[in-house]
Amino acid sequence: MHEIICPHCGKAFKIDEAGYADILKQVRDSEFDQQLHDRLELAEQDKRNAVELATTRVAGELQKAAAAKDSEIQELKARLDAEEVARKLAVAEALGKVEKERDALANELEQARRDKQAASDLAEARLVNGLQQAAATKDAEIQDLKARLDAIAVAQKLAITEAVGSVEKERDELKSSLARAELEKQLAEKSLKDKYETQIKDRDDAIERLRDMKARLSTKMVGETLEQHCETEFNRIRATAFPRAYFEKDNDARTGSKGDYIFRDADEAGTEIVSIMFEMKNENDRTATKNRNEDFLRELDKDRNEKGCEYAVLVSLLEPESELYNTGIVDVFHRFPKMYVVRPQFFIPIITLLRNAAMNSLKYKSELALVKSQNIDITNFENGLEEFKSAFAKNYDLASRRFQTAIDEIDKSIDHLQKTKDALMGTDRNLRLANDKAQDVTIKKLTRGNPTMAAKFAELKEQKPGDGG
């Protein structure tokens, strides 16, 4: 029994082991859920911070690239505007020259017209001829000026076309660079997204494993307790495997202590076949002074003797990393007689094993019960029966140890065969290398540096065509 004090009213009350375990479970579950919730929030905050940081960094880099490209575009536009102004100035200057020459020609024509009117009729034909020649010359000059002006316009157009082409080319390159930068940004964002999605998936998997572990612990060892688990497992097969068996909690604490469960089985005549005192310990039952299986064996042996049980079994989840207790059924006869330590999965097998072993002595027990009912002294017979059971237990222990020894020898044989296999594989490699070297041997290599052998092989080579072979 445990005493608990209410934090509100200060009243103390007592609860049994099951209630105390349920309260501990509720406290642990709420703490576990709170810790799980806090870790999920921290993971989500880390993800948001990482995504924001990556987005800010990529946006800054893109802004820098865009600013640089905008500066280049503005510079190109300024150059284009300057060239356009220069072109306009050149055109205006050329037009001014042409207009000035045109005005000069117009003035000369006007002066010629006045001279024509003032000249005599005799000089009219000569003056007309001279004017026609002058007009032809001026027309030629005007045509030449127009051709030069057209050439200047064509050159300006070609310059403008080249400048525009260069600007368009740089514009296309800028567009291509921006497209590449956008693609790199998308790839970087996708890479970051995939990276953080992978990390989030890993964390989700870890959380799911924790949840699954909690669920399994809750359903098997926390929510039910180990005692309820074992009781449920036994009741599932009671009707078929143990129809006359007694398996109930040990509620008799008159001697100051009690076990958890007592198993008794009898035949049709009521003769007891086997009796077992069970003690269940899960990880929640550890204390500061008792946290190993051995710490509970002495009290279990005391309960077995006080309740008149033939065997004692500790069903334990303590020391989960122990290879000894994880291998199967462990007898502790060297510490206390007729006592075993098992994991929960061997709870039913240990009952079956001890019951089947006791069936061999059922005949003697039946006869013993008959003799006792007839008030016959059977002291020697009981001693013999006890010797038989002790011998059987020793033989079982010896068989168990020899079985383990056989397993160890098999493991050693497997290791030896593996080493033999490795040695044969090494031999195969060496033989293959030797064969390669043998295939590489030639007469030329054999006779190198050996003039006697070279002469012999040359002699054989010369004799070979005529030997008829």
Q: Taking the complete model, does pTM exceed 0.95, yes or no? A: no
Question: Is the pLDDT higher at 83 or at 445?
Answer: 83
Token digits for 139? Answer: 């027309």
pLDDT the model gives residue 265: 93
Using left for φ > 0, alpha for ψ between -120 and 50, and beta otherwise, residue 319 falls in left
Question: Is the pLDDT higher at 373 or at 102?
Answer: 102
Are the beta carbons of 260 and 280 closer than 8 angstroms?
yes
Question: Is the pLDDT higher at 267 or at 20?
Answer: 267
Confidence of residue 314 (pLDDT cuts 50, 70, 90): very high
Q: What is the mean pLDDT of residues 284-301?
A: 84
pLDDT the model gives residue 219: 41
Confidence of residue 296 (pLDDT cuts 50, 70, 90): very high
Is 187's pLDDT higher than 60?
Answer: yes
Angstrom distances, CA of residue 31 to CA of 26, 65, 236, 287: 9, 51, 34, 20
pLDDT the model gives residue 381: 61
Which residue from 24, 181, 156 is spatially nearest to 89, judged by alpha carbons?
A: 156
SS3 for 15? strand
Is 100's pLDDT higher than 80?
Answer: yes
pLDDT tens sequence across 113-156:
787 677 666 766 776 676 677 667 777 777 877 787 777 767 76
Question: Is the pLDDT higher at 259 or at 339?
Answer: 339
User: For 340, phi and psi rounded to 5 degrees?
Assistant: -130, 155
Share of the chain above pLDDT 70, in %: 80
Which residue from 271, 401, 389, 396 is spatially nearest to 327, judged by alpha carbons?
A: 401
Q: What is the mean pLDDT of residues 90-115?
A: 77
Query: Which range (1-15, 33-47, 177-191) has the least confidence?
Result: 1-15
pLDDT the model gives residue 13: 66
Beta strands in 165-216 (DSSP E): none
Q: What is the mean pLDDT of residues 71-83?
A: 82
CA distance 154 to 60: 46
User: For 131, phi and psi rounded to 5 degrees?
Assistant: -65, -40
Query: Which range (73-82, 293-302, 425-434, 459-468) has the least confidence?
Result: 459-468
Q: Within a 10 A sphere around the Cβ of 29, how many other Cβ atoms?
A: 14
Is 469's pLDDT higher than 60?
Answer: no
pLDDT the model gives residue 329: 93
Are the beta carbons of 54 and 189 closer than 8 angstroms?
yes
Query: Which range (303-312, 352-361, 382-391) has the least confidence?
Result: 382-391
Q: What is the mean pLDDT of residues 317-335?
A: 90
Question: Is the pLDDT higher at 254 or at 341?
Answer: 341
pLDDT the model gives residue 23: 75
pLDDT tens sequence across 428-450:
677 777 777 766 666 666 666 77
What is the per-residue DSSP string for 291-351? -SGGGGHHHHHHHHHHTT-SEEEEEE--STT-HHHHSS-EE-TTTSTTEEEE-GGGHHHHH
Angstrom distances, CA of residue 406 to CA of 76, 160, 310, 403, 413: 90, 99, 30, 5, 10
Are the beta carbons of 263 and 275 closer than 8 angstroms?
yes
Is 313's pLDDT higher than 90?
Answer: yes
CA distance 383 to 381: 5
Is 349's pLDDT higher than 90?
Answer: yes
Is 214's pLDDT higher than 50?
Answer: no
Q: Which residues pair with 311 in a beta bridge?
A: 276
pLDDT the model gives residue 373: 64
Token digits for 74? Answer: 């503005």
pLDDT the model gives residue 168: 75
Are the beta carbons of 144 and 152 closer than 8 angstroms?
no
Are the beta carbons of 178 and 69 closer than 8 angstroms?
yes
CA distance 260 to 314: 10
Q: Is 202 exposed, middle or buried, given 0-12, 13-18 or 19+ CB atoms closer than 10 A?
A: exposed
Token digits for 155? Answer: 């050159």
Share of the chain above pLDDT 90, in %: 18
CA distance 102 to 117: 22
pLDDT the model gives residue 444: 64
Q: What is the CA radius of gyration of the chain?
A: 56
